Amino acid sequence: MERALLAVDPTLAVIDEARELHADLLVTHHPLLLRGVHSVATTSAKGASVTGLVVGDIALYVAHTNADVAAAGVAEALAAAAGLQDTRPLAVVEDQPLGRVGRLASPTTLGAFATALYAVLPPAAGGLRVAGPADAPVETVAVLGGAGDDQLDAVRASGADVYVTADLRHHPALEAREEARGGAPYLVDAGHWSSEAVWLTTLRDALGAALRLDIDISTVRTDPWTFTVGAENLGGNA
């Protein structure tokens, strides 16, 4: 094995890229098959993906929930991108640490924090969605890469001023803001892909230190969203 490609998702385009690079290994965060299938015929995208891996002689390794809880995993990478210090787990689920809570080097505002975070995360078409006033004070931050609205109770218990995660659905987000009575914790939806793609650099560095491989990060942006229309700033300037 001489070359590896790292990506968030093992899509057809990513597999094509791996084949073009003559990669022997594709490491992704998300599985190829999230649900069971009855066929891998090439008439389906999943089947064509499996065939592409086989024909290209490419092994696929998936680091999903294990990377979510790893010491140098997705949560730690997102916490580092957010500039957090003195981090601790947001929650412990089945004896495994989930997410991170930490403090910023110095207090700031919600708007300034969101702007700084946007500048360091892999860009997404939707940018960052923020719930809360732009001038609200922020110092303690909770983060959880990927879908995180099932940990809103843990965020409240942590005392965080703001929660950075993704895939925040209407009702959980609305209820969280109602419970906060307009105060903390505020919410930042960074987008699923962006909040996890930030980990790929950490993964590349770790694998590079442990293995004698040529390691590339995929240039394919697997976030399914491509543009937005009519986005409005309803809470003041950032």
Annotated binding-site residue numbers for a divalent metal cation: 29-30, 68, 192, 196
Q: How far apart are CA 194 and CA 169, in angstroms?
A: 17
Write out the binding residues. 29-30, 68, 192, 196
Q: Dig out the tokens for 144 from the structure.
A: 């959880």
Three-state DSSP at 165 gives strand
Q: Where are the beta strands (DSSP E) in 63-151?
A: 84-93, 96-109, 129-131, 137-147
CA distances 213 to 17, 25, 45, 78, 148, Å, are 17, 10, 29, 25, 34
Closest by CA position to 26, among listed 195, 192, 196, 220: 220
